[in-house]
């Protein structure tokens, strides 16, 4: 148990569906991240949120829409996905201490295994 | 962030020390060496990080060469549960967020 919980663990969706992935962290961290891990490829950073504000969008297509309503919750809204979007989607959190100190390491959730059919 | 090079795969006998090398010849003076691992079907797990001194914690030891162009992660007494993909990541730390750039890592298999 890492303190970062992702739901659902598995999701199968059609290309016309709309679904959302949820991430919750119980660590009091102020930074949250979405990563994508496709088969046979390295993990790719998708989005970064610091203090609920999106600070990085790594050229992610608009069919992926993140939302961070507070520093403990992060969502990834999905719509009109393609089969090649099937992957393991991982959420992570960390404590960004700015210039005042060394950050903690990133803590990852177990991921959501997404299959687009 | 500097690029890293790791062997694709390694085997290690259970109970022996597992030594995982990483080359980072273009590392800058303010870049740290991080190690994470990913056990099958789970999220990555932080192991250890360092700047220039050797580091040790309850999971592993990190040996960084004097010129900082390479490092070795040491799991002193490998168990079957240490079978995982191990990622060596070089990045600036101390401030900013923990944005990580993962490579393909080393697939370590512990043999009974």
- DSSP per-residue letters across chain A: --SEEEE-SEEEE-TT-EEEEEEEE-S--SEEEEEEE-TTS--EEEEEEETTEEEEE-S--TTEEEEEEETTEEEEEEES--GGG-EEEEEEEE---GGGSPPPPPEE---EEEEE-
Q: What is the reported pLDDT for A86?
A: 97
Of A5, A4, A8, A14, residue with least CA distance to A85: A14
**Residue B31: predicted pLDDT:** 86
Q: How many residues does chain A have?
A: 117
Check A96 against B96: CB less than 8 A apart.
Answer: yes
Beta strands B84-92; B31-38: pairing state: antiparallel
* Residue in A55, A107, A110 nearest the CB of B97: A55
Tell me the chain B residues in contact with residue A107 when contact means C-beta distances shorter than 8 Å.
46
| Contact of B25 with B70, CB cutoff 8 Å | yes
Angle at B85 between CA B79 and CA B91, to 5 degrees: 120
Q: What is the mean pLDDT of chain B?
A: 91
Residue B93 reports pLDDT greater than 70: no
pLDDT of A98: 61
**Phi, psi of B63, deg, nearest 5:** -110, 120
Shortest Cα–Cα distance, A27 to chain B (Å): 15
Contact between B54 and B66 (Cβ < 8 Å): no
pLDDT at position A2, please?
Answer: 83
Contacts A–B by Cβ distance under 8 A: 72
Nearest CA in chain B to A51: B97
Q: Average pLDDT of B78-101?
A: 83
- Say what the pLDDT of residue A99 is: 56
Identify the pLDDT of residue A41.
87
If you average pLDDT over residues B9-30, what whole number do you get? 95
Residue of chain B minimizing CA distance to A108: B43
List of E strands, B3-102:
9-13, 18-23, 31-38, 45-50, 55-56, 61-64, 70-75, 84-92
Distance, CA of B106 to CA of B101 (rounded, Å): 15
Does the CB of B93 have a partner CB in chain A at under 8 Å?
yes
- Residue of B94, B97, B102 with shortest CB distance to A50: B97
pLDDT band, residue B1 (cuts 50/70/90):
low
User: Looking at residues B49-71, what average pLDDT do you find?
Assistant: 94
> What confidence score (pLDDT) does residue B77 get?
95
Q: How far apart are CA A116 and CA B4, in angstroms?
A: 33
Q: Which two tokens stand for residue B60?
A: 């592993």
CA–CA distance, B29 with A35 (Å, rounded to integer): 27
What is the pLDDT at residue A100? 55
Are the Cβ atoms of B45 and A108 closer than 8 angstroms? Answer: yes
pLDDT at B94 > cutoff 80: no
Among residues B37, B38, B2, B9, the alpha carbon closest in space to that of B23 is found at B2
pLDDT of residue A51: 81
3-state SS, residue B63:
strand
Subunit contact B43:A96, Cβ cutoff 8 A: no
**What is the reported pLDDT for A64?**
97
Q: Give the pLDDT of residue A97.
A: 66
Closest A-chain CA to B40: A110
- At residue A25, φ and ψ (nearest 5 deg) are -120, 140
What are the residue ranges in chain A where pLDDT is below 70?
97-104
């Amino acid at each position: 148990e890492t303190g970062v919980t992702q739901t659902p663990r598995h999701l199968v969706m059609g290309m016309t569906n709309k679904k959302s992935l949820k991430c919750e962290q119980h660590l009091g961290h102020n930074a949250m991240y979405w990563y994508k891990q496709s088969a046979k490829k390295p993990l790719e950073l998708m989005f970064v949120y610091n203090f609920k504000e999106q600070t990085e969008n790594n050229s992610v297509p608009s069919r992926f829409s993140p939302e961070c309503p507070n520093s403990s919750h992060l969502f990834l809204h999905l719509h009109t996905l393609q089969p090649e979007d099937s992957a393991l989607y991982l959420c992570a959190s960390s404590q960004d201490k700015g210039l005042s100190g060394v950050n903690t390491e990133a803590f990852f959730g177990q991921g959501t295994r997404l299959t687009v059919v | 962030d500097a690029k890293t090079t790791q062997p694709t795969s390694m085997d290690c006998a259970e109970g022996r020390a597992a030594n995982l090398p990483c080359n980072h010849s273009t590392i800058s003076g303010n870049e740290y060496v991080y190690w994470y691992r990913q056990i099958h079907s789970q999220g990555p797990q932080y192991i250890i990080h360092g700047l220039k001194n050797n580091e040790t914690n309850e999971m592993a030891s990190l040996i960084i060469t004097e010129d900082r162009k390479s490092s070795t992660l040491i799991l002193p007494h490998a168990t079957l549960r240490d079978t995982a993909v191990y990622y060596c990541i070089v990045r600036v730390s101390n401030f900013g967020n923990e944005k990580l750039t993962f490579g393909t890592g080393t697939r370590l298999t512990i043999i009974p």
